[in-house]
């Protein structure tokens, strides 16, 4: 019997396309992030805060990934920036070919910052390179602090963890100390920012973080 390594072939093809995309992003000096997290973690809310804080100084665009509907893309578009909706039709993640196709419908000339909001999922998206400069995971305190150890690949591969909805901490059993301990055991270099999109806590620090990253990419 001949065994076919489908996963390996799929990832190899994805990586080849991702390299082509990455070369284009580098040529245009576009800083790109892959925003990851569970459904309900607040990825779109965090993204809205980024848009409000950065769009006056930074030319932004968003590739919005969802299984179905355009609800999140409609929210983003209402803020007056370019957005491309990618519906996977049930697929649990975006891949590099979807990003490549999105480029055909996106004006990337003069673009500074590209955000790919991935499908809500803590498993599959971790395996797919989307040509991003960094993976950013959003974790809400309502999900519990056990998620990094349950889904280690996502947290091992992310450069930044945004702990969202910290205003709800008093109403949960989320333990921030345990979270930091688990993160350190998985990814000692991961940066953690605690935010609340409701109260604004941590949002200025988040803006400064991405502003610096965007400027660094421009200077390369």
For residue 1, being part of any structural domain is answered with no
For residue 12, being part of any structural domain is answered with yes
Alpha carbons 199 and 166: distance in angstroms, whole number? 9
| Predicted confidence (pLDDT) per residue in 105-133, tens digit | 999 999 999 999 999 999 999 999 999 99
Q: What is the pTM of this model?
A: 0.93
Tell me the CATH number at 50: 3.40.50.300
Please work out, in degrees rounded to the nearest 5, the angle formed at the alpha carbon of residue 177 by the alpha carbons of 210 and 53.
20
Alpha carbons 176 and 104: distance in angstroms, whole number? 42
Q: Are strands 191-194 and 160-164 parallel, antiparallel or unpaired?
A: parallel
Domain total for the chain? 1
For residue 125, being part of any structural domain is answered with yes
Alpha carbons 121 and 20: distance in angstroms, whole number? 25
Q: Tell me the residue range of the domain where 215 lies.
A: 6-219
pLDDT at 103 over 50: yes
pLDDT at 3 over 70: no
Token pair in block for residue 24: 């284009």
61: left (phi over 0), alpha (psi -120 to 50) or beta: beta
pLDDT recorded at residue 123: 94
pLDDT recorded at residue 8: 62
pLDDT recorded at residue 90: 85
| Predicted confidence (pLDDT) per residue in 166-220, tens digit | 999 999 999 999 999 999 999 999 999 999 999 999 999 999 999 999 999 988 7
Percent of the chain with pLDDT over 90: 88
Range of weakest confidence among 23-37, 76-90, 156-170? 76-90
């Amino acid at each position: 019997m001949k065994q076919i390594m489908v996963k390996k072939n799929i990832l190899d093809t994805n990586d080849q396309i991702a390299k082509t995309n990455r070369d284009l992003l580098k040529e245009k000096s576009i800083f790109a992030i892959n925003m990851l997290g569970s459904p309900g973690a607040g990825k779109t809310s965090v993204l809205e805060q980024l848009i409000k804080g950065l769009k006056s100084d930074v030319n932004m665009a968003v590739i919005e990934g969802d299984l179905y509907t355009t609800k999140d893309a409609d929210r983003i578009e209402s803020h007056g920036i370019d957005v491309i909706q990618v519906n996977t039709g049930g697929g649990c993640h975006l891949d590099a070919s979807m990003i490549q196709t999105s480029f055909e419908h996106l004006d990337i000339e003069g673009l500074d910052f590209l955000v790919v909001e991935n499908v809500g999922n803590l498993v599959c998206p971790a395996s797919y390179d989307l040509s991003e400069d960094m993976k950013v995971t959003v974790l809400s305190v309502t999900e519990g602090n056990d998620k990094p150890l349950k889904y280690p690949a996502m947290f091992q591969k992310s450069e930044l963890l945004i702990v969202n909805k910290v205003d709800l901490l008093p109403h949960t059993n989320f333990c921030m100390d345990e979270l930091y301990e688990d993160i350190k055991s998985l990814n000692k270099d991961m940066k953690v920012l605690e935010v609340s999109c409701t109260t604004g806590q941590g949002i200025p620090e988040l803006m400064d973080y991405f502003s610096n990253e965007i400027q660094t990419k421009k200077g390369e």
